[in-house]
Every structure is written in C-alpha cells, then in structure tokens.
Structure 1
Amino acid sequence: MDWREELKNNVTNVDELKKYVTLSAEEEADMRRIVDNHPMNIPRYYLDLVDTGNPQDPIRKMCVPEADELIVAGAMGETTGDPYGDDKHDKGNGILHKYSYTALVVATEYCSMYCRHCFRKRMVGLPNEQTVQNFRGAARYIAEHPEITNVVISGGDPFLLPNEVLRPMLDALRGIPHLNYVRIGSRAPVVFPMRFFDEELLELLADFNQHKALYVPTHFNHPNEMTPVARQAVQNLRSAGITVNNQAVFLRGVNDDEDTLVELMNGLLRMGVSPYYLYQCMPVSRVRHHFQVPLKEGIDIIDRARRRMDGYAKRFKFILGHDIGKLEVCGRIDDKVFFKQLHARPGHREEASRMLVRQLTDSGGWLDDLPEVEI
C-alpha cells in the first residue's frame, strides 16, 4: 500500500464521517461549526479502532470533534492559543529556540490525523507562518549557535513529509559537530503506522543514525492504540536502530484512571518503547474544558497507578509544559503540590532546578490557577 495514496482516503468532512459514526442532528450541526475552525482529518485505519457502539469511546474522543470544542471559557479558568509560548521564541525559518540547548524546527503544519486535544490546535492543519520554507536556513541558524546540543524536528508531523524532503533535512544536520542527537516527533506510529513499512524511509533513518543518534518520541495515549500494526511499526523503527520514547497526554475520558495508565505503561514496555513523559493537558482554547483533569484529582490517580508499576514502567515524569519551562509534578502533601522546574528560558538560568509550591484547588489544572504558598 502506498502511504501517500492511503492518506487521500482520510475522513475530512462530516458527510464522510457519517458513514462510520452515527450522529444526532444536534451533533452534526455542532460538528459542522467546529470543523470550520479546527479541521478534521482521520485516517481510516484509526477510525476503524473506534467502538461505534460507545459514544464515550476513548479513541473516538481523540479523533472525532465534539460539541465541547465550542467552549472557549468556563469553570476551569482561562484558555490560550499558545500555552507553551511558542510565538515568543520564534527565530524564523520555523525555528523555536526556547531553551538554549534545544532548537525545535516546525517542519510542516500537516499531520496524518488532527488530534482533538492538540496543543498547537490554532495552527495545525491551517496555513501559517511557522512552516519551514527553507530548512537550510534553519540548519544555518543551528550551526551558528554552538550552545544547541539537540534538535527536535516537529510540526505537524515530519514523517508525513516525503522521503525526498526528509533526506535533505537530515543531511543538513548530519555534519553539525555540536549536535549530540536529533529527535523527530511523530504520532504517525500510533495513528498512521503504515508509514513505517516504507523500506526507503527506514534505510534513510538507519543511515542517519549511524552518524548521529536519532530518537523518535511518539504519542500513545491509550492501550487500544497498541494494535499489531502499530507494534510492528515500532519494531521496524527499533530494527533500524532508532530509540523510541513515548510522550502521552493525561486526558479526561481517555486515560484518567489507574487501570488504563498501568496497562498503557506496561504495554509500551512490551513494545520496547520507553515511557518518558505524561503531560498535563494544556489550557488550550477549545481543549481545556473537556480534556483537562484538575491537578488535585490527577496527582492521586497517577500515584495510585504508579504503586502498581515496576521500576521501568514508572520512570515517566508527570509534566507541565509551561511558558516558563517544563515543570515536573513531583506530588502533593495534603493540599500543597510540589513542582520541580526542569528547564528554564534563556536569561532565567537561575530558575532551572528550582522547586515551586502551590496550593491545590478542586478545579485548578494549571500552575497559573494555583495560589502561591509557603512551606
């Protein structure tokens, strides 16, 4: 199967979706309003994983638009289109340089699937100014900044670029001596795994990996995504020498219970994928109010799940990807939550590795929702 031909069969409008999922008249009307603002794009492979008899099916929640996406403000607090502060760190040519040692290159705005919980929802799938027009310009910026030790090629989904586009991108990074490794962030192993049955792609990645370490952070959120095809896609990457890590997002109605988290982390290990991050859902407009779990509730769910995991399964960090930097949620004592800052913005080096303490509230799901408190 030619993966590019199969992409043409993606479900991208409500009329096509109705062939797969039953919609009430009200749901259909809401959905048409939603997709005008945030496009729908679902591979047939992933849509086939939906339990059509269950309106609360977790796979459906991640791919099919819901009326809750019309909510832009509500009881959980403020929302934003740019929770990670991407715009502040845009250096042109698609480069986001937020941490001194890491350059993130937005290589494409296109994904094989537009996840309904996406934190770049405002830009993915739409024309925007953050698409790389000239990757060589991005590579020049990286070469001129020796403090950059690693590059993340992101998007969108870089693996939806043809091999003939990916090859010169990687070649442009291959000879930069101060780069220790390169990451290509992708949800394609989960939602469009047939991409990784392309022998030319696998040979391209294996060759680059011989010169500079290559990692693929992927994004399994639920055990039902771990199909035999997805497992084989991961195995194909691993057989090419690629290290695969997982960055899940903690999502209400998808994985916000201890049984699911235990099954997810154990399932990753069975595939040879390292559980790396579990992200708190960001306060993104049209996402927060139906996907974000309050921290007070979420910390307890995750702690109960961790008690049932072995050492490798519980290695993941529970993370807030905040504008000020990445924060690990270390846990809580009574109603006080403890954060450890892992990275800090340029000019704020003193903030790296600091501890922050906040007062938990019943509904607070983000650092900014929680009052400062002394211990």
Structure 2
Amino acid sequence: MRWEEILAGNVTTLDELSASIPQINEYGDIASKVLNKYPMSIPRYYLSLVNPDDANDPIRKMCIPSFLEMDLAGTFDTSGESSNTKLQGLQHKYPQTVLMLSTNRCAMYCRYCFRKRMVGSGTQEVVADIKEAISYILKHEEITNVLISGGDSFLLDTDIIREYLDSLSAIGHLDYIRFGTKTPVVFPQRILEDSRLQDILREYGHKKQIYIVTQFNHPRELTEDSISAVRCLQGLGLIVKNQTVLLKGVNDCPETLARLFRRFTELGIIPYYIFQCRPVTGVMNQFQVPLQAGYDIIEQAKAMQNGNGKCFRFVLSNPDGKIEILGRTADGQMVFKYHQAKDPDNLGRVFQREVGPDICWIE
C-alpha cells in the first residue's frame, strides 16, 4: 500500500479507538469534548505499541486523549512564535536560523504538542507561498540553516519536499537543511514505503547536508520498524538527531531515559536536546515535570551514559531564547545559560534564579 493509504487508516474517532482501548468508553462525554477541541489521529502502527490493560502506559499517554487536556492553565504560544513571524509560516528568531512551518498535518497528534493551537486545525500559520519564503532567505545572508517543520514536514507530498530541497539546496549561504519529523517514531512506513522520497533525499543530500530531527521519548518506541526507518535515512547519507521532551508519566525516570539514550548511541542517533515540556494550555499540568526534579532525573540518566551519550543539553525555549539548565545549588537557586538568544546581548549569559520545588518554567 502507498503510505497515504496506510495513513488514511489512522484512528480518529472514539468508536475506532474503543475497539483497541475499551476503557476509553468510561470517559463518555468528556472524551468527546476533548476531541472536539483537540483532534486525535493515531497510526495503527503506533497504537499497536500501547498496552491496552495499563491506564498509565507511557505510549498511551502520548497518543490517547485525556480529560486533563481540558485544563485551561498555560498559554498557546509559549516561545513567542507569533512575534518572530516575518512571513506567513516563516519565523526568524535567531540570526542564523529560519523556521518554516510547512504544514499543519502530522502522522500523529501528540497529546503534549507545543503547537496544539494549530496542528490538525487551522492553516493560518503555515507557509502560503514557498517562493516568497525562499526570496526572504536569499535576502538574508546571515541565515546559514533552515528548519522545515510544521506539523510534520514529512507529511508533505513528496513533490513538495522536492520543491523545498530544490530551492534551498541552490542557496550558497546555507550550510545545511533540517527536516523536523516524527515519522520515524510514529509512522515509519512514510519512509520505508516511499522509494521516491528516498531517491530525492539521497539526490539532494549530495548537494547540501540534510539533517533529520526526530523525537523518540521512550525506549519502547525504538521498534524494529522505527529502527529500519532510521537506518534507511542514515543509509541515504542523512544525519539523524533526536530531541526528547521530558514528560511526566512517560520518561521522568533516570533508568528510562538512560535506556533510551544508550539506544541512541548504539544506533548512531545523535542526542541533541532534552526539552523541558512547555506550559501549553491543555498540556501544562498533565505533562510538566518541576525543574529541580527534572534536572536531577537527567543528571542521573547522564551518569549512566558513555561520552557520546552525554552530548545533549537540557533546555527550555521561552520568548527570550533557548535557555540551558546548567545546575542547581544547595540553597534552591538554579543556574541557567542562554544557549540561543533573541537579544544578541543575552547570548552566552549565565544567570541564577530561585526556583521552588514545584516550579516548572521560567520567563
């Protein structure tokens, strides 16, 4: 089957979901209200990884709606994306990097998504004119890399992916191109079943270095199929990096994170960031781990790694920039550093702040 046909079989309704997870019927009207507000789409491949008998199954938490999503605490734009938008679908927050929101579609709608405001619903924030976006990049020679994200950039039609690559690979001042995609994790068939996509990635990877930035959050996501998708991308000459999100009830355990990161180094996946879960409406109180606890969890997991497994940063992204969480002191202070900064004067700046045991975010 074509990947589009496989994706069309995603579980999107409560009736379909109850066939695999009968307990979902216990939530009744609440579950319907959640889906009316935040749509659901789960590839049958990924749903097969859920233990239907475990209400606290970590895979379940990432894909199956919860009534906790109706919690109105938090905001929908936690890192100031609207203020960094220069053209529809194009953000330019840091001098060297442009972010292109290429689509609002994903193979799966993650329940902790930080773009919950747009994924699966409105297209007002998606690139409207690729040529206009390319023109902006051509005029700004300080830009050295482009991140094509969304939604999920690999949910674009293969011809559109080729159009992006054809235009971007011809720009001399770009060092590399990145694709943000969770398809290796949730829908590996997109990569494994499309030889034309593979040919295009191989072709343009010879013209400009291509990175794939994906998001494995739990060791059980590294299945035979997902590993095959990663191996396929690596075999095409692409570099695969991973951004994990620290999630309560999913991977907030040193041993779980340690197993995950050891698998990365075994498979040649480069550990890139661990992100503090953002205070997004419908996400915040369900998935956030307090900063102090998160730091301790990550340091314990890091102690179980070899050198290659330690080359990630624990960061949070707020409107000011990407802030690395460096450590904590005995008197409750935590130490932070601007890894990236919207204001160039902040770049590299180290600062301390008092952070209580229940605090999950800083502005």
TM bin, normalised by shorter chain, reads: over 0.9
Q: How does 1:1-375 map to 2 (within 5 A)?
A: 1-23=1-23, 25-73=25-73, 79-197=74-192, 198-334=194-330, 335-345=332-342, 348-368=343-363
1:169-197 deviation per Cα after TM superposition (whole angstroms, max 9, x unaligned): 11111111110111000011000001111
**Structure 1 position 306, deviation (Å):** 1.3
In structure 2, what is the Cα distance between the partners aligned to 1:143 and 1:263? 43
Query: CA 1:231–1:52 in structure 2 vs 1: closer, same or farther (change >3 Å)?
Result: same
Does the aligned pair in 2 maintain the 1:157–1:185 contact within 8 Å?
yes
Does the aligned pair in 2 maintain the 1:93–1:135 contact within 8 Å?
no
What is the root-mean-square deviation of aligned Cα atoms in Å? 1.0
In structure 2, what is the Cα distance between the partners aligned to 1:333 and 1:202? 49
**Structure 1 position 26, deviation (Å):** 4.4
In structure 1, what is the Cα distance between the partners aligned to 2:220 and 2:72? 29
Does the aligned pair in 1 maintain the 2:246–2:275 contact within 8 Å?
yes
In structure 2, what is the Cα distance between the partners aligned to 1:70 and 1:50? 23
**1:246 aligned counterpart, secondary structure:** strand
TM-score by length of 1: 0.95
1:185-210 deviation per Cα after TM superposition (whole angstroms, max 9, x unaligned): 00110000011112111110111111
1:29-73 deviation per Cα after TM superposition (whole angstroms, max 9, x unaligned): 211101111100000000000001110000000000001111112
Does the aligned pair in 1 maintain the 2:18–2:24 contact within 8 Å?
no
**2:244 aligned counterpart, secondary structure:** strand
**1:331 aligned counterpart, secondary structure:** strand
In structure 2, what is the Cα distance between the partners aligned to 1:116 and 1:306? 26
Does the aligned pair in 2 maintain the 1:14–1:28 contact within 8 Å?
no
Does the aligned pair in 1 maintain the 2:96–2:143 contact within 8 Å?
yes
In structure 2, what is the Cα distance between the partners aligned to 1:28 and 1:266? 41
User: Number of aligned pairs?
Assistant: 361
In structure 1, what is the Cα distance between the partners aligned to 2:45 and 2:360? 33
In structure 1, what is the Cα distance between the partners aligned to 2:43 and 2:350? 42
**2:115 aligned counterpart, secondary structure:** coil
Does the aligned pair in 2 maintain the 1:93–1:137 contact within 8 Å?
no
**1:330 aligned counterpart, secondary structure:** strand
1:118-174 deviation per Cα after TM superposition (whole angstroms, max 9, x unaligned): 000011000231111221111111011111110000000010112111111111111
Structure 1 residues not aligned, in runs of 5+: 74-78, 369-375
**Structure 1 position 271, deviation (Å):** 1.6
Aligned identity (percent) is 42
**Structure 1 position 235, deviation (Å):** 0.2
Query: CA 1:113–1:55 in structure 2 vs 1: closer, same or farther (change >3 Å)?
Result: same
